[in-house]
Structure 1
């Protein structure tokens, strides 16, 4: 987005969702299927932004459940679950930040 609130188009040499090489037009976040390859469109795949939003929602719910645990009175099993939930949530969020294969000429 620009400073005045307008959405900018991003040109990329690959599909905005699956990173298949090719020119599929500019990716405009305001248009759900822009920048996607024909295979992604035909498969009815959700947009990358939709997937990212879903991951953030699920991770937030998992973390909220883990935070509700009283650590001072927790059993070893509850502590193990708590740490596992935090680890899974953080891993899923960090995967959103990982570079997409084929991005940046790598």
Structure 2
């Protein structure tokens, strides 16, 4: 799975210097936990819902040497949700139709 999400896509776009961890290489990282034993709903961009017993949750992201944790980004997330709500109220458009649906709308 790691290869499919890192070096394979980098090679596919002709950028083999990306998608690898090596001394001196530029690297952005994402770490996840698998949460099991629940009832999790997953909604796709068309609004269809699937239910699963496991889900992947982000635990941290490292971008350009800075570590970001989901709980530290709560304010930014809420701001994005509020902005999406205002845009939906203004345009009357369902953001899922545009390929993006923030949670809790």
Normalised by the length of structure 2, the TM-score is 0.30
Higher helix share: 1
Query: Is the radius of gyration larger for structure 1 or structure 2?
Result: 1
Normalised by the length of structure 1, the TM-score is 0.29
Higher strand share: 2
